[in-house]
Amino acid sequence: MKYTVSPYRNYTETMPRHGFLEIENLVKSYPTPDKGEYVALDGVNLTIGEDEYISVIGHSGCGKSTLLKIIGGFQTATSGSVRLDGIEIRKPGADRMMVFQNYSLLPWLTVRENIRLAVDEVLKKANRAERISIVNEHLAMVNLIAAADKYPDEISGGMKQRVGIARALAIRPKMLLMDEPFGALDALTRGKLQRQVLDIWENHRQAVMMITHDVDEAIYMSDRIVLMTNGPSAKIGKILKVPFQRPRDRIAMRNSKEYFELRNQALNFLDENFTVDE
Ligand code: ADP
Ligand code: MG
């Protein structure tokens, strides 16, 4: 089925005044062994403000991780440009930290050492005492002081994810990139961690791009929700502005008419864009 609404509806009226991250006509294709180039992303345009929380939703395989990896500098675009603070992104940098779905902690280091390693690598100008205090501050931020000397295989999935988040935040990136950060967690842990990340973000605002499959999570956490069309040649189909004041009360929000409408807009978009075969 073909998407019939203009792909740029809602775009201009929800664009932030100051572009912090600017993605322009981004195209990414991958070579395939038998069918030539596979065009994953085909003309993505998006501008994100410096303290904006953006969620990206789209069906599996539409290119969400590809988009995040290009912003992270782990992959290069085929054409188009991505600028952070006016500077073209060409490689990974400590100004953009990634939080992955599957924790990616070093198993031979304790919780504290996993965070410390990142701090040592990035905050080279900080002295020993400053580094220790940054690590402690971020352990406390995600409630991990008691588990600081445990190894990754001695703690739960939710705790591991908190370590990943603390590690990313500890080096004070300008932008946080999260690829389905709560995807592997049970519903209860997921809800708690969403609240915790929002609390931290509300106190230390920064630009966030978070990929998620969960419409409720996107509404709860973000300022705008970017809905991607299916691949191949995926692009941004629609951008929804989330109107709720922060800090957000999940239950009050969920009971409102605006929530119901926003949720349906997102779900309908995803249904309209679901194609089983070409
Ligand atoms: P998503 O995160 O939305 O599920 P991805 O960004 O991982 O999607 O992938 C988008 C498309 O690009 C998929 O069809 C995937 O198979 C393809 N793809 C991703 N990475 C590579 C790669 N390194 N080489 C070839 N194709 C890739
Ligand atoms: Mg992905």
127 Cα to the center of ligand 1, angstroms: 41
Those residues whose beta carbon sits under 5 angstroms from the ion ligand 2 are: 65
| Distance between CA atoms of residues 211 and 66, nearest Å | 11
The closest residue, in CA terms, to atom 21 on ligand 1 is 30
Tell me the residue type at 119. Answer: V
| pLDDT-above-90 percentage for the chain | 74
Tell me the residue type at 176. Answer: L
pLDDT in tens, 37-64: 999 999 999 999 999 999 999 999 999 9
pLDDT on residue 6: 35
pTM of this prediction?
A: 0.89
Chain centre to alpha carbon of residue 83: 17
List 55's β-bridge partners, or say none. Answer: 210, 225
Cβ-Cβ contacts under 8 Å for 94 (sequence gap 6 or more): 121, 122, 171, 173
pLDDT in tens, 241-267: 999 999 999 999 999 999 999 999 999
Cβ 230 under 6 angstroms from ligand 1:
no
61 Cα to the center of ligand 1, angstroms: 6
Cβ 61 under 6 angstroms from ligand 1:
yes
Cβ 65 under 6 angstroms from ligand 1:
yes
Residue 259 three-state SS: helix
pLDDT in tens, 194-237: 998 998 899 889 999 999 999 999 999 999 999 999 989 999 99
125 Cα to the center of ligand 2, angstroms: 35
Task: Rank 13-27, 114-128, 183-197 by mean pLDDT and report only the highest.
Answer: 114-128
pLDDT on residue 185: 82
Tell me the residue type at 83. Answer: R
| Distance between CA atoms of residues 87 and 108, nearest Å | 36
98 Cα to the center of ligand 2, angstroms: 13
CA torsion 79→84→86→87, rounded to 10°? -70
Cβ 62 under 6 angstroms from ligand 1:
yes
| Distance between CA atoms of residues 202 and 221, nearest Å | 10
pLDDT on residue 275: 65
Helix 187-203 and helix 157-170, axial crossing angle in degrees, nearest 10? 20
Cβ 63 under 6 angstroms from ligand 1:
yes
The closest residue, in CA terms, to atom 20 on ligand 1 is 66
35 Cα to the center of ligand 1, angstroms: 15
pLDDT in tens, 139-153: 998 889 999 999 999
| Distance between CA atoms of residues 245 and 97, nearest Å | 27
234 Cα to the center of ligand 1, angstroms: 11
pLDDT on residue 1: 38
Three-state SS letters, 195-219: HHHHHHHHHCCCEEEEECCCHHHHH
Mutate which of 66, 177, 180 for ligand 1? The one with the most ligand atoms within 8 Å of its CB, which is 66
Helices (H), the chain: 64-72, 111-122, 128-141, 157-170, 187-203, 215-221, 250-254, 257-272
| Distance between CA atoms of residues 248 and 262, nearest Å | 15
pLDDT on residue 18: 55
Give the number of other CB atoms < 10 A from CB of residue 109.
Answer: 15
Above 80 in pLDDT, residue 14? no
CB 150 within 8 A of CB 118: no
pLDDT on residue 278: 46
Q: Which ligand is the nearest neighbour of the Cα of 62? A: 1
